Amino acid sequence: MEPIKLNLENLNKAFPETFTQEQIAKAKTLFLKKLSEEAHKFYGGKIQTVPKAPVIGFNWFNVWYTPGVSKVSTNIRDNNVTSYDLSNRGNLVAVVSDSTRVLGDGDCTPSGGLGVMEGKAFLMKYLGGVDAVALCIDSRNEKGENDPNKIIDFVKMCQHSFGAVNLEDISQPNCFKVLDVLREECDIPVWHDDAQGTACVTLAGFINALKLAGKKNSDVRIVLQGAGASNTTIARLLIADGADPKKMILFDTKGSLHAGRKDIEADKRFYRKWELCSITNPNKINTMEEAMKGADVLISLSTPGPDSIKREWVRVMAPKSIVFACANPVPEIYPYAAKEEGAYIVATGRGDFPNQVNNSIGFPGILKGALMVRAKKITDNMAIAAAHSLADFAEKRGINTEDIVPKMDEAGVFPQEAADVAMQAIKDGVARVIISREEAFEKAKTDIEYSRSLTKNLTDTGFIKDPPQQMLQDALDWAIKQV
């Protein structure tokens, strides 16, 4: 039997012909979950530490370690900046999480986030040429409450070992305070991928979707379902890039956001939501049914579907409507259903549907760009520059209604994105090192090619083994039986 390749075409053919589209979508999700469980067990996780210096003979340990390394220690003591040149710090990211909001699974306990954080590290290495370490921490205080100050203190203490920090899967409202404090108080970039990364890639898709629909950013009416870290940051970046906040309506679990939401105003932890309450939805429209009438764009990051977005909501949107249904692991409405109700462009967070809004095309290049110039922080302008870089890359190679953003397998997008982010960091005055765009592009390209070649060589020589075919077949058989 030929190996099952995890792509849309071959995987679709693996399911019974009697399956409906919804059954296939459900079976895919179950298959991927089961295969992930078995593959992680087979490999014992997916990240390891590999030396990048040789061991020509055992006497070289006197160079890599004591007594020779004493000179490295004293150099860094006398000038901390040399740590970027004398250690791996300049290309090393800490992936920090308290695992309180892991994908669509909620609070998974501190160690429950390791699979996701290792996944981030895997993607950073392969796609961005960046090394990363998963650090899942316990943020609970003596009362058993998740305390944002514990995360803040942890990151501030360990920042001296890293060139940047990627925050991940921290529940709101803690995520807002953690990011905002650390961005200002750390000497290295602190990036929250659930918020800034999702916003960046969504903005890229939004830019190209509007081009195809023949609509302008400043003119469109936008509805955002969900008002967590992702959607509030998406709204903020859309506005910063020219969207009209008066034509924007956000919804949380209690209704729409507007200046009359005293519950949000009173809870100072939700200050980011209150900022949006004060500038969006001036007419205080309070139901999705009303908000969706004539809306041009729906961006949803809320409860996994497939019926969190109602068909009738899509049906009353404006001509050439755009729907982003990005809940994981199941979108709030399946693309075929949204299309049947008149949606012109549909994007989701899944790679087995067209138009995947995937953070993985964002953070590897963004962090690489920030690291190359030793940026002190990642500004909103840098995130917006990354979004336009992604949109431009896709437009130049051709876009259509089912292909609005680059894909992970388009290797050329990452050095371009990294270079554009690096240039914006220099422009914003947060870079410690000034390089040309050409230098940034070539550095990123070289490092990414090295990382990919390293993985390929380890696989070709058998140090990384291919997954057993039977493991894939068993996962497929199991998924089909569940449906």
Q: Point out the residues that are catalytic.
A: 65, 120
Instruction: Output b/e per residue, 23-54; b: 16+ Cβ within 10 A.
Output: ebbbbbbbbbebbeebeeeeeeeebeeeeeee
- Tell me if 102 sits within 8 A of 88, measured CB to CB: no
- 310-341 burial, b at 16+ Cβ within 10 Å, e below that, comes to eeebbeebbebbbbbbbbeebbbbbbebbbeb
Give DSSP secondary structure letters for 309-357: S-HHHHHTSPTTEEEEE--SSS-SS-HHHHHHTTEEEEEES-TTSSSB-
| 147/42 Cα distance (integer angstroms) | 35
Give how far Cα 20 sits from Cα of 23, 36, 128, 219, 480, Å: 5, 24, 38, 38, 12
Residue 218 burial (CB < 10 Å; 0-12/13-18/19+)?
A: exposed
Mention every residue, 6+ apart, whose C-beta is less than 8 A from residue 76.
Answer: 82, 83, 86, 87
Residue 466 CB coordination number (10 Å): 8
83 in Cβ contact with 162 (< 8 Å): no
d(C-alpha 483, C-alpha 475), whole Å: 13
Please state, as a whole number, how many other Cβ atoms lie within 10 Å of the Cβ of residue 85: 12
The set of residues, in sequence order, having a beta carbon less than 8 Å from that of 145 and lying 6+ positions away, is none
- How many Å apart are CA 378 and CA 21, to the nearest integer? 41
- Give the strand pairing for 222-225 and 248-252: parallel
Place of tokens 């909620």: 106
Q: Classify the phi-psi angles of 320: left when phi > 0, otherwise alpha if psi is within -120 to 50, otherwise beta.
A: left
Strand 255-256 to 248-252 pairing: antiparallel
Report CA-CA distances (Å) from 330 to 29, 38, 348.
8, 21, 9
Contact in structure between 218 and 244 (CB atoms under 8 Å): yes
